[in-house]
Amino acid sequence: MEEELKCPVCGSFFREPIILPCSHNICLACARNILVQTPDAESPQSSRASGSGVSDYDYLDLDKMSLYSEADSGYGSYGGFVSAPTTPCQKSPNGVRVFPPAVPQPPPQHHLLGHPGSLPPIPRNSCLTCPQCHRSLILDERGLRGFAKNRVLEGVVDRYQQSKTAALKCQLCEKSPKEATVMCEQCDVFYCDPCRLRCHPPRGPLAKHRLVPPAQGRISRRTSPRKISTCTEHELENLSMYCVQCKMPVCYQCLEEGKHGTHEVKALGAMWKLHKGQLSQALNILSDRATEAKEFLVQLRNMVQHIQENGVEFEACLVAQCDALIDALNRRKAQLLTRVNKEHEHKLKVVRDQISHCTVKLRQTTGLMEYCLEVIKENDPSGFLQISDALIRRVHVTEGQWGKGTLTPRMTSDFDLTLDSGPLLQTIHQLDFIQMKVPSAPMLQLEECCTINNSATLSWKQPPLSTIAVDGYILELDDGNGGQFREVYVGTETICTVDGLHYNSTYMSRVKAFNASGVGQYSKTLAMQTSEIAWFTFDPTSAHPDIILSNDNLTVTCNSYDDRVVMGNSGFSRGVHYWEITVDRYDNHPDPAFGVARVDVLKDVMLGKDDKAWAMYVDNNRSWFMHNNSHTNRTDGGVSEEATVGVLLDFTRGILIFLINDEQQGPVAFEGIEGLYYPAVSLNRNVQVTWKQRRNVIAPTNV
């Protein structure tokens, strides 16, 4: 709190603080020190203000006259004005420039006689700039007397300074007073324990006196009635009302003179209590912010420790990574040296073999030459001719052995190995840290998320200010019954449609993003409700090519005499489902089949011929249930034009029931039904049926 109790100019505790129109405080003496005189031309009447209260304080106009200099962060005079002070300025402990007041002209004698000891008058057109918000204003004729004194701040400063003083001493000790232990509120005396027992015994008339700790007694001393504040406009009038528009206390005479006559005024005590309550509420909010700040500081201090720990760990990881690179380079170095040594040994072996071979041949050649020279020396013609032909052939053969390439080195002395270290050096130079974080939680775009029948479409995007790279997204849904989440999509798209969900179910969905650094947080969870009623039609994409669809895929027939299968475009795996099909055309001969099928049912045979369909086929007199080409439960009663066939698929009981014209046809057709089934029909060109859309899933009551 000490910073709040110090003047922004002198840096000391407030002495006689005054309240400026901007609600900041300043010592009275410091206010005189920072006054600056302005020329007459720069002092319009509209910008004059004083402590009497100008609630419509025009900061925009006063800013134009601000003396605050952004270049030196202090206060200065208007440059070039003759009336500006020419004495050099000084800086207060808080960095605010203070201009020593110029030596005033001697006031008139009658002024000095009439007000002995009064301060010199404030020069005309003096300007005061708030040292905290830098708002400037021109003082009126009352000068600094026009500002109200902040008695509350003065009292707080007094209590704070007294709380910092030394411990209170006993007032009755004769020599070297001891520290006081109690104070009597009635006697108004501080006692140490020996003096209290001697001078203030707890019996007799003094027994009713109230003894309190010294600190509390010091406070009770200061709670004596303060002097009632008086109006700055009318010094003899007490402040008794509060002007709501001007936001300042006023006296009765202020109301009488009409200055605040048209303003809304309230009782001073009521507004005092109201503002105390408002301040208490504001303090509660500020207290919450202070608590948050303390928790934030704890978080930051913990972060400092974590940074230090992570720094040591990261440094060790970096050293380990670099050491691993060095080890890999050393291993590669050893491998390359091995290759160089092999090449070295190979070259030496080839050259040495050539040296050995050439040496042997040279010795043979030299021996033959020496022998031939000796033979030439012989003088016996007949003997010479006996061997000359053979010697000539040998010489030619030997000379031929020294043919082209024989005297050419088979190996060069150069090593045809060049180490390509450029890419590795470039990679080493580019070795750096990757500043990447995990992505932020994506935002679900609610306006684009929807459900249609048993399909759900979800759309999302990254937060607007996020700059973190995203490699893809992971979409998760639960099982529609409060179970665990499961991944239904992984990819780069930001929109996904999930089909095959359960009807009349609530699915919880969420999405998260990922990149090379890891997986980010989940988005907010979105609840999506699938349709209570299944609105479906025949599916042209899965129908046999001979099937003909019309009436927005609600009516179907066939152009073949053979039975062909067509299914609905929605599948069911949970709940109770009932639908009806109307026979539009029937010539009493074919056997149309109605029922349910798996998605991979055969399309070119009657429904129920394979193990992927459960059906009832019917003619004009009777019906049969069929599954996996097994016929059961022949029942009288057939179909004709305009007849209605109903199918009840009940997963709660695991049964399949058929109806004709709202009457159950035979017993329960099939039991143990579970899995994913699609409505299905098989028919030929002699039959036409239409899906009868109903707005409920309730079967007739007799089923």
pLDDT value, residue 87: 38
Instruction: Render pLDDT for 263-311 as a digit per residue (tens, 0 to 9).
Output: 888 888 888 888 888 888 888 888 888 899 999 999 999 989 988 998 8
The strand pair at 518-519 and 68-69 is best described as unpaired
pLDDT value, residue 379: 86
SS3 603: coil
Residue that wins the pLDDT comparison between 461 and 71: 461
Instruction: Render pLDDT for 305-338 as a digit per residue (tens, 0 to 9).
Output: 988 998 898 899 889 989 999 999 999 999 999 9
User: Which of 646, 652, 695, 647 has its CA nearest to residue 534?
Assistant: 695
Strand partners for 189 = 184
Mean pLDDT of 43-57: 40
**Percentage of the residues of the chain whose pLDDT score is greater than 70:** 83
Please state which of the ranges 410-419, 620-629, 648-657, 663-672 shows the lowest mean pLDDT. 410-419
- DSSP string covering 183-227, please? EETTTTEEE-HHHHHHHS-SSGGGGGSPEE-HHHHHHHHHTSPPP
pLDDT band of residue 522 (cuts 50, 70, 90) is very high
Query: Does the pLDDT value for residue 68 go beyond 70?
Result: no
Distance from C-alpha of 539 to C-alpha of 580, rounded to nearest angstrom: 16
Q: Give CA separation, 539 vs 513, 591, 644, in Å.
A: 36, 21, 21
pLDDT value, residue 554: 93
**Percentage of the residues of the chain whose pLDDT score is greater than 90:** 33
Are 605 and 699 in contact by the 8 Å Cβ rule? The answer is no
Mean pLDDT of 92-102: 47
Query: Does the pLDDT value for residue 260 go beyond 90?
Result: no
Q: What is the CATH number of domain 225-263?
A: 3.30.160.60
pLDDT band of residue 487 (cuts 50, 70, 90) is very high
User: Which of 130, 179, 131, 137 has its CA nearest to residue 52?
Assistant: 137
Biggest CA–CA distance in the chain, Å, is 178
Mean pLDDT of 655-668: 93
pLDDT value, residue 697: 46
Domain ranges of the chain: 169-221, 225-263, 273-402, 443-529, 547-691
- DSSP string covering 524-579, please? --EEEEPPSS----B-TTTS-TTEEEETTTTEEEESSSS-EEEEBS--B-SSEEEE
Helix-then-strand count for the chain, H and E: 10, 39
Query: Does the pLDDT value for residue 61 go beyond 50?
Result: no
Q: What is the CATH number of domain 169-221?
A: 4.10.830.40
Q: Which residues contact 234 (CB under 8 A, 6 or more apart)?
A: 251, 253, 254
pLDDT value, residue 436: 67
Query: Does the pLDDT value for residue 115 go beyond 60?
Result: no
pLDDT value, residue 556: 95
Instruction: Render pLDDT for 122-138 as a digit per residue (tens, 0 to 9).
Output: 666 678 888 888 888 78
Instruction: Render pLDDT for 155-207 as a digit per residue (tens, 0 to 9).
Output: 888 877 776 655 678 888 888 888 888 888 888 888 999 898 888 888 888 88
Query: Does the pLDDT value for residue 521 go beyond 50?
Result: yes
pLDDT value, residue 49: 45
pLDDT value, residue 123: 61
User: Which of 550, 575, 538 has its CA nearest to residue 678?
Assistant: 538
SS3 179: strand
SS3 596: strand
The model scores a pTM over 0.95: no
Assigned token pair, 400: 């031929």
pLDDT value, residue 580: 93
pLDDT value, residue 124: 60
Domain covering 547-691, topology: Jelly Rolls (2.60.120)
Distance from C-alpha of 480 to C-alpha of 631, rounded to nearest angstrom: 37
SS3 276: helix
Instruction: Render pLDDT for 690-700 as a digit per residue (tens, 0 to 9).
Output: 988 654 444 45
Query: Does the pLDDT value for residue 107 go beyond 50?
Result: no
Mean pLDDT of 237-248: 82
Query: Of how many residues is the chain composed?
Result: 703
Q: Give CA separation, 405 vs 58, 350, 359, 412, 694, in Å.
A: 109, 15, 15, 14, 101
DSSP state of 230: B
pLDDT band of residue 152 (cuts 50, 70, 90) is confident
pLDDT value, residue 125: 66
**528-550 b/e with 16+ CB inside 10 Å = b?**
bebbeebebbbbeebbbebbbbe
pLDDT band of residue 414 (cuts 50, 70, 90) is confident
Q: Classify the C-alpha dihedral 132-133-137-139 as positive or negative.
A: negative
Q: Which residues contact 424 (CB under 8 A, 6 or more apart)?
A: none
Q: What's the mean pLDDT when you consider all of the chain?
A: 81
Instruction: Render pLDDT for 565-620 as a digit per residue (tens, 0 to 9).
Output: 999 988 888 888 899 999 999 987 789 999 999 999 999 999 999 999 999 999 98
pLDDT band of residue 111 (cuts 50, 70, 90) is very low
Distance from C-alpha of 9 to C-alpha of 15, rounded to nearest angstrom: 12
Mean pLDDT of 245-267: 81
pLDDT band of residue 678 (cuts 50, 70, 90) is very high
pLDDT value, residue 251: 85
Are 610 and 602 in contact by the 8 Å Cβ rule? The answer is yes
Residue range 443-529 in CATH 2.60.40.10: yes
Distance from C-alpha of 614 to C-alpha of 627, rounded to nearest angstrom: 5
CB atoms within 10 A of CB 616: 27
Residue that wins the pLDDT comparison between 228 and 362: 362
Mean pLDDT of 492-499: 92
pLDDT value, residue 415: 83
Strand partners for 71 = none
Rounded to 5 degrees, φ, ψ at 384 are: -65, -45
Instruction: Render pLDDT for 543-576 as a digit per residue (tens, 0 to 9).
Output: 999 999 999 999 999 999 999 999 998 888 888 8
pLDDT band of residue 406 (cuts 50, 70, 90) is confident
Distance from C-alpha of 349 to C-alpha of 470, rounded to nearest angstrom: 60
Q: How far is CA 116 from the centre of its chain?
A: 69
